[in-house]
Amino acid sequence: MPQPGLTIGALASQTSTNVPTIRYYEEIGLLPKAERAANGHRYYRDGDLKRLGFIRRCRDFGFPIEQVRELVKLFEDGGRACIEVRDLAQTHLDAVRAKLEEMRQLEASLAGFVASCDAACCKGPTRDCTIIEDLAAADAARNAAAQDAACCPAPSKHAKRKTPAKTSAFNEIRRT
């Protein structure tokens, strides 16, 4: 039997990764299945420590799991072209920049909400709150856009509506 290496706890401690995450990485194939001792405990080798450290660093930089999987392949196969790593990093950088732009737009919207509330209503009741009104209006606009995109959009307010046929039961209810 091979010489025991690191326990899962020691591996977790040395890489600042929690134990369930290590098990998950094994389950999805980012880490190879650990060797087991006669007592059933997992034991890891130095190569596993290096690999998990690399995975952890990739995750710290926000690389998604599938890109981490590709980076691990490149990490372990030192003969492949560096440009492959660069392309993965560029793809991730582009995604980060797009998220930053979304966050800037979100920041501007939130700043506008706060400024309008400060100017108009922050000392009053919530029924007069401009933030609530703006959020409700955005929801109504989104619902209207979804209806426009539907296969059978609701008729517009200006469309001629047909009057539904009124039954005698309806008339009976109306009289009471």
Q: Residue 54 pLDDT > 50, yes or no?
A: yes
6-64: CATH number: 1.10.1660.10
Give dist(CA 147, CA 137) in Å, integer.
15
Task: Judge contact between 35 and 47, C-beta under 8 A.
Answer: no
CA 44 – CA 6 distance, rounded (Å): 5
For 74-105, what is each residue's pLDDT tens digit? 999 989 999 999 999 999 999 999 999 999 99
C-alpha span between 121 and 79 (Å, rounded): 64
Give the residue extent of every domain in the chain: 6-64, 82-149
44 compared with 176, residue with greater pLDDT: 44
* % of the chain at pLDDT higher than 70: 81
In this predicted structure, the answer to whether residue 28 has a pLDDT above a threshold of 60 is yes
Return the higher-pLDDT residue of 152 and 31.
31
Q: Tell me which DSSP letter residue 122 carries.
A: T
